[in-house]
Amino acid sequence: MDKLIVKGRKRLAGEVNISGAKNAVVAIIPAAIMAEGASVVENLPCIEDVSCLCKIIEKIGGTCQYIDRHTLKIDATGPLDTCATFDEVRKMRASYYFLGALLARYKKAEVSLPGGCNFGVRPIDLHLKGFRALGATVIEGDGVVKVYADKLVGTSIYMDQVSVGATINIMLAATMAEGITTIENAAKEPHVVDTANYLNMMGAQIKGAGTDVIRIRGVEKLHGAQYAIIPDQIEAGTYMIAAAITGGDVLVKNIIPKHMDSLTAKLEEMGIQIEEGDDSIRVCANHPLHGVNVKTMSYPGFPTDLHPQIVALLSVCDGISKITENVWENRFQYVEQLCKLGAKIQVDGRVATMEGIEKYHGAKVSATDLRAGAAMVIAALAAEGETEIDGVRYIDRGYEDIEEKLGALGADIHRIHVAD
């Protein structure tokens, strides 16, 4: 597995372009197979999860053709195999969207249970509850979920817990159900809105995405559409934090600044200067920075997917900081790794307390999951000496060209290819 080697304490400066959102594209690519026609997806991030989704589509009978590195044509016109129970499906959690998409179009699907990042129990009970409410029969067993229905009928669904994946998956299925479906206590994340916008361009009738009530009037058919993915809120946040930890001056471009509000508020509280443009944010940091307290929440709260990264920064801020994790109970696997670089972190249940240290010292660490990997990179950028990060395949799942983008900002970072 590849490694990243980082020689730290280089101040980041310049401009970085943010790619399309991973969490939007992993819903939009499966949604594309709901149409009898081709879709063209633009602003596609060049990440491992996209390659994996393309393989899944081709294995069930569709085609994926790159027009250029960031534009993909997906054609699932022909009949598709509704059974997706092979390795690529098991590799990524977001393959659960094939359940909703195939159920919508063919009223049946058989999909392996999802994998993805390894933190905490990641159930899909809310997704399945939603499918059942729409009239589907759901059978689970041997690592596979089977759903089928004579027809799907719109209904009112109240989500016990705010779930991004369940909101999108139920929205996919309801798009081609008879009548009206209402999803209450829906997730409001930008990628929920992006998926709804794409479905609407395909002919769906979805209203209210981005609020906690989504109303879907079912349609019989969808057609292909051309659609540009929104910028990645989490990638943008990662570069903003990377700029801050190096005392840098970085213009983070091609973003929606509104999506960054919960992070910019915290960075400002820490003493970092933020300048918002129409589609960019400039981050300018001078040490010392003050520790703050952070609580992760669903959108518009502070995203759990920026939790490890902000802790990497808070660990070198003055004083005591706390983070409360409200979404994933076992998100703290990165802590042990960060402590190898010198961080002082105590975890008690869902709360981690950071005692600010003067600086990190390079060491050998592992990316234990995607965002933990991003946190290792951030800490390494600020560390004295050399840090070796393994498990880079996790980072590649969600960050396009990470070493090139950081290198262009002045970081000393390179990859060593290691055969698996």
Which residues of this chain interact with ligand UD1, rule CB under 6 A?
A: 23, 26, 93-94, 122-127, 161, 163-166, 187, 191, 304-305, 327-328
Q: Which residue of the set 83, 117, 284, 339 is catalytic?
A: 117
Task: List phi, psi (to 5°) of 5.
Answer: -115, 125
Strands 180-184 and 205-207: unpaired
How far is it, in rounded angstroms, from Cα 181 to Cα 178?
9
One-character DSSP codes across 210-259: TBSEEEEE--S-----EEEPPB-HHHHHHHHHHHHHTT-EEEEES--GGG
**What count of Cα atoms within 13 Å lies in the side-chain half-sphere of residue 182?**
6
According to DSSP, residue 278 is labeled S
Q: Which residue is nearest to ligand UD1 (CB)?
A: 165
Token pair of 19 as six digits: 């790619």
Tell me whether residue 117 is one of the annotated catalytic residues.
yes
How far is it, in rounded angstroms, from Cα 234 to Cα 238?
6
Which residue(s) pair with 78 in the sheet? none
Token pair of 339 as six digits: 């402590």
Whole-Å CA distances, 56 to 76, 93, 166, 382, 388: 12, 13, 20, 39, 33
How far is it, in rounded angstroms, from Cα 188 to Cα 212?
6
How far is it, in rounded angstroms, from Cα 171 to Cα 177?
10
Task: List phi, psi (to 5°) of 92.
Answer: -130, 140
Between 186 and 251, CB nearer to ligand UD1: 186
Between 74 and 192, CB nearer to ligand UD1: 192
Number of helical (H) and strand (E) elements in the chain, helices listed first: 14, 24
CB of 93 to ligand UD1, least distance (A): 6
According to DSSP, residue 385 is labeled S
By annotation, the residues acting in catalysis are 117
